[in-house]
Amino acid sequence: MIRRAMGEVDVKSAIRQTLAKIEEAHSKRVQTIKPSKPLLVAVSKTKPVELILDGYSAGQRDFGENYVQELIEKANDSKILQQCKEIRWHFIGHLQSNKINKIVNLPNLHMIQTVHNAKTAESLNKAWEKVMAGDPNKNKLNVLIQINTSGEDEKNGTEPADAVNLYRFVTEKCSHLNCHGIMTIGRFGHDYSTGPNPDFIELMKCHAEICSTFGKDSAELQVSMGMSDDYIQAIEMGSTIVRVGSSIFGARAKKPEA
């Protein structure tokens, strides 16, 4: 029923094909870019739980959601809780301050990829401190700093010039957060016949600057960039996390934030 309704989507096959493409792109990456094979985050926003179960049964463990309410519903779904005990949820949408307390208490929350300013980082840090106090087995919350590489007003993220300062704030002032790296959404629809994606170039510049400033090896700082239409190019540029949705789950309708 679900497969027919979703236009014969074969999630298991799509995941296998995506992983094969990731492996191929990684093998072609220039030797000066050291990070290991990128992590695939399967973006399941607006998709039914049944398709997530399909992906999980194929070995996929990392899933991304853009909308807080949808993530709350899926993370607490009885079938997900029973059948996907090792699932890792990545929140990849805009996180409003009034939604933070709702999201930090979700089961299997693995990473917030969209920390776009110091206020969000500080609020997350305080909220996660309470979570850790209530559960001594909890580790620091994994986060990425979101950088607005395209400079578009409708995109969230700190300006590239402020990336180092925001990274410093999170690592030095937010003791309950584990700053894994940086991410960007970037401008949609880049024409690769004109050359490399300028958003990817800009994010890798931020990566290099942060590594240089804080004496970090480049492999230590994760880079989340690249989606269904450009994750191959993103990997070739140095991405270590790719967020792939429609190539796995099929085209989706837009859904407003609840």
* Sequence-ordered list of residues with C-beta below 8 angstroms from that of 31, at least 6 positions apart, any chain: none
pTM across the whole model: 0.92
Domains of the chain (ranges; CATH) run 2-29+37-249 (3.20.20.10)
- DSSP sequence for 102-162: HHHTSTTEEEEEEE-SHHHHHHHHHHHHHHHHH-TT--PEEEEEEB-TT--TTS-SB-GGG
pLDDT in tens, 142-193: 999 999 999 999 899 999 999 999 999 999 999 999 999 999 998 888 999 8
Q: Which residue has the higher pLDDT, 28 or 223?
A: 223
The first and second tokens of residue 32, run together, are: 């000066």
Cα-flanking dihedrals φ and ψ of residue 107, to 5°? -65, 140
- DSSP sequence for 62-110: EEEES-HHHHHHHHT-HHHHHH-TT-EEEE-S---GGGHHHHHTSTTEE
Average pLDDT value for the chain: 92
Q: Answer yes or no: is pLDDT of 5 > 50.
A: no
58: three-class secondary structure by DSSP: coil
Signed CA dihedral, 84, 90, 95, 101: sign only: positive
pLDDT in tens, 92-132: 999 999 999 999 999 999 999 999 999 999 999 999 999 99
Signed CA dihedral, 102, 106, 184, 245: sign only: negative
pLDDT at res. 37 = 82
Q: What is the four-CA torsion angle of 173, 119, 127, 45, rounded to 10 degrees?
A: -120
Q: Which helix (H) or strand (E) holds 41?
A: strand 39-43
Share of the chain above pLDDT 70, in %: 92
42: three-class secondary structure by DSSP: strand
Q: Answer yes or no: is pLDDT of 1 > 60.
A: no
Buried b (16+ CB within 10 A) or exposed e, 176-206: bbebbbbbbbbeeebeeeeeebebbebbbeb
